[in-house]
Structure 1
Amino acid sequence: MISKACNLTADQIDHIDFFYNQLTFLATILKDLEEKQQQLNHEAKNLTMQIYSVISKTRQLIRFFDVQVPGQRDINNGDSFFDILIGTNIMEEIKMIEEKVVQFYDRINQIQLLQIFNDGVHSSMSMENRTMVDEEITVGFDDEALTIKRLLVGARKQLQMISIVGMPGLGKTTLARKLYNDPYITHYFHICAWTYASQLPRKTDMLLDILRSLYVNEMENMTNEKLGDKLYKKLKGKRYLIVIDDIWDIGAWVDLKMYFPNDNNGSRVLFTSRLKELAMHASPDCHPHCLRFLTEEESWELLQRKVFQNESCPPELIEIGKQIMKKCEGLPLAIVVMAGLLAKDNKAQVWWKQVAQSVSSYIVSDPNQYLDTLALSYNHLPRHLKPCFLYLGAFPVDQQISVQKLICLWIAEGFIQKIGQRSLEEVAEDYLMGLIQRSLVIVAQKRFDGRIKACRMHDLLRDLCFKKVREINFLQCAHNYEDTSSSNSGNIMFPNLECLRHLEALKIQNKFSFPSNFREVKFPTNVKRLTLIYTHIEWEDISILGMMLPNLELLKLEGDAAWGQQWATTDGGFPRLKFLKLKFLNVKQWITCSSHFPSLQHISLEVCPNLKEIPSSLGDILTLQLIEVTYCHFSVEESVRKIKEDRESIGNNWLKVLIRNLSGKLRKIKRALEIIG
């Protein structure tokens, strides 16, 4: 009937198919309950009546359709079916019943009805694995589990491979075990088995794992062929679920798949992997299920439950605890690692504050629980991808990385090798996709055409990058605050910088003070564009940049790049500078003359609240075309207007002035309110 409803969407059909499977399961439970009436307690008997009610109501809905469309069940009458569906709210009724069915599943878990069915269900999960799952706290997997459960018990009869893909620590194995232990799953499949593939899978070990979980004996001294034949015969004719955990190599799947019979009875193979490409290759007709990160609410719940079990977090620790939780960025394994650390002294506020100040370092320094897991992903990378992965660690924390910029940097560093007739850019895009498919890089933005515009890296993977970088001396890192006070800190921060003879654009961003011997830093003389952020260089040293960089055309000073209240430029100045930007600086006074900036064309001032005015002498620069002022003191705005007026008074109308301030925004808001009335 449903298959002929041509006007139903695929989602609606899948929804009804899934509901059908749920009712089939309830009918099976009902039959078993009736056979064991004498063994049931009051609550279980009450469930029997509720199941009867659900099935009865479903029959009423089907009869209602038959009455509304008599004699049309064998014709393609999708329009009529859709009209009745909407007119009678049948889908809403089905949704209500489905919610009740889900409640039944929860109730069945609570009263452990699964014990009633143990005699009739051929569940092969070992008691050792059951204990491990029962003790494991899972949070935030309900929607994920439901999505995959629909695939596992869906209407498709052919053998189907379903994959769970994600970066290390997202909970792929945890979710797979949650599904494997689900009472509906264990009842729906006649046989369930689990094996672990690992980074170096052995066919013999995997076959033995599956057979042992099926309680097969007498397997000693058997060849792989005989083990495979025994497995095939054990599975033949039965609806089975095989879980292959942590698969790295498509060869592991190829070695096993011949022993999984396809009897068109709804059998499934579920595997977890970090490699999306592998999952797509193993099952091209079923898109991999990519795990999401936990929400903040889910993360906080998991942290509390792991640290305090059934108790709530003390009020004095909530704020600190949430700081720690946020730094884990929704990665379940990171939260679990931190919870283990906090639980050592779960009510000491001082200890929690120490942990909060250095979350990432604690996680990375825990080799048994976290770093070894992440390092597996790195160690398994092809040689050509390793430098590309490590290079990502050079970008600031939480920064979206422009793919176009990243590719240019990879090419400039010599990481990309020419392949056939393809351009270096095309090869670099493939390299990036390789890292994304291995769940080591996260897609941050996409273009309209579906290509990746920006990417990012999880903080904890970035920490792994830094650790590996130090081990192999891949990059020179200068990010530890305590290093900056050393006498040779300038050499530590910029070793052999002058050797980059062809470098034209340089951006330096620090969160600590620049070395005191700044004048000894040797910049490449060909640099044309320089950006300094949070460098805290004294204004006196900024003034000599023009002499240190004779070809400098663009200078951006942002976020306390310069330190001090007065900037007095000197003779020689910036002979070729065309663009000057001052942003988020605390300078109060700017003293200069036109001869210090003879080529300047564009000045941009943004959020410099203490600056009183722009020097009037800048108006004498003949090349000056544009002055931008954004959210500065009104006296700065007045000085800029005065410069423009003076230029116009002598017939020079080329100078443009753009002023953006809060009063302009307020006027727009008021106008909008007036229009609203």
Structure 2
Amino acid sequence: MAYAALSSLIYTLKQLLKPNQPFVCLSSTQHHVRSLYQNLSVLQVFLDDTTKETKDIETLKFIEKRIRDVIYKAEDKVDSSLRNIILADCGEKREGAAKFFEEELLKVVKDVDSPRKEVMAVECNKHGSKSAELATTPSSPEKSIIEENTIVGMEDDFNIIFDRLSSQTDELTVIPIFGMGGIGKTTLAKKVYDDAYIRSRFDKHAWVTLSEDYNQKQMLLEIASSITGINQEMSDDQLMEIVYRGLKGRRFLIVIDDIWSTEAWEQMQRIFPNDDNRSRILLTTRLKYIADYVSCPDFPPHSKSFLSPEDSWNLFTEKLFKKDQCPPLLVEIGKHIVQQCQGLPLSIVVVAGLLGKILDGSKLPDSFSILEDLETLHIETQENIDPMIISRDISLPNLNKLKLFGTRIPWEVVNLLANLPNLEVLNGNRAFVGKDWKVDEDVVFHKLKYLHLYRCRDLERWELAAGSDNFPMLEQLKLYLLPELEEIPESIGEIMTIKSIRIVDCGSGVNTSARKIQQEQESLGNYELQLQIFPIVC
């Protein structure tokens, strides 16, 4: 989501504004960093301020999408520039990299300024018309069509959650939604959360995403920022008190997205006062036992169902062909592809998006067999995806290069990508999630030469099967910002094709194991392995 990327970029800028850091030396660069930080803070307040009522809901959605797109590009520019400074191996190159960083920073400031102005305009228009807007809901035919299309096959789910949120029960009520990854839990929660009528019923709103590795301080900061506007470092106890006081006596709606443990819930529920004022907590999880644990007797957990074959087909054709009909020659193969998605909305959307990039609307082929010729694929998303859609159900026999961004695929299913027979390049940026990557002996990336892992912040252990060749052709390994990883598997040192290992911003254990691998390679007669280690820069 845009908020996570925005928070990440703001954190980076805060580090750059600290004294004695090596990146920002020129006063002009410091000015750009400070200006960008201030503009991003405006956007963060806008995203945090969930009291946004406006007559033009679609304008609001458009601005939020604009913020997301701008922030992702901005973060990539900043991170890339900083990486160039780190990798510069002499004073002259470092000076050039610093100058380039200043130029990129100026572009980012200009890019961010546009959505900032749009946000300010919305804020100005909002004041003075609040009471009138609270009494209205979108009713134009155009908006009805848009809202209907965004929840294809979820109408019954939407109505159930809508009714529970707006019920007359006074007691604080937890409403859990559970189901497997990619089935649409977050989409459903977001749709209800953004509904104008639902928002008008509550004084305070907040959305927090937890994921598998629960971070209490980050959760408290996000809620405190949404509820009170406070966004500064303090102890957990202070944050809990601020959140509790901010919610006390107010009717609130809190969404807790993607919770993985009952322990996380036990820690969280203490900050939510029960004032018998019809406050609600909407919670999503993949695990039924957690949904059962947090649910109230009057509102059993809601199981997010798979899409029916008809709804799956409607969603697929809507995303791929927009308002046009699917050409008759493509119906049979299209329905076969949709069937393989097994009713998972996210899989259907990703497949449709993939095909949409491949197919030229004016020159549609007779079948989707064009996928067999696909050599390069780049998937970028803000939600989890199931890799089965590209590794098993759709044949991509010639895929050579796969780049994933923001997909958050669990490590235990990354191994399915080994089913791509000609994959040579695997590049993952925020693409994989989880603490452990265990590669079993029957998993072999037969032709993989380049493995690049970026920002897998929670990966702790990477294990290869003893005595097996999981990566027999690997030539280049890049690890960037894996602070929790304990070490590189020793068996990497037994791969005779390995030529280069580059490590940036990883822990000392990774650095030590990389040096051991270099020694192992030299003992095998390979003195050409290039090892580059760039330590964490605070």
Normalising by the residue count of structure 1, what TM-score does the alignment of the two structures yield? 0.36
Comparing both chains, which one has the higher relative contact order based on Cα–Cα distances under 8 Å and sequence gaps of 6 or more? 2
Normalising by the residue count of structure 2, what TM-score does the alignment of the two structures yield? 0.44
Pick the structure with greater CA Rg: 1
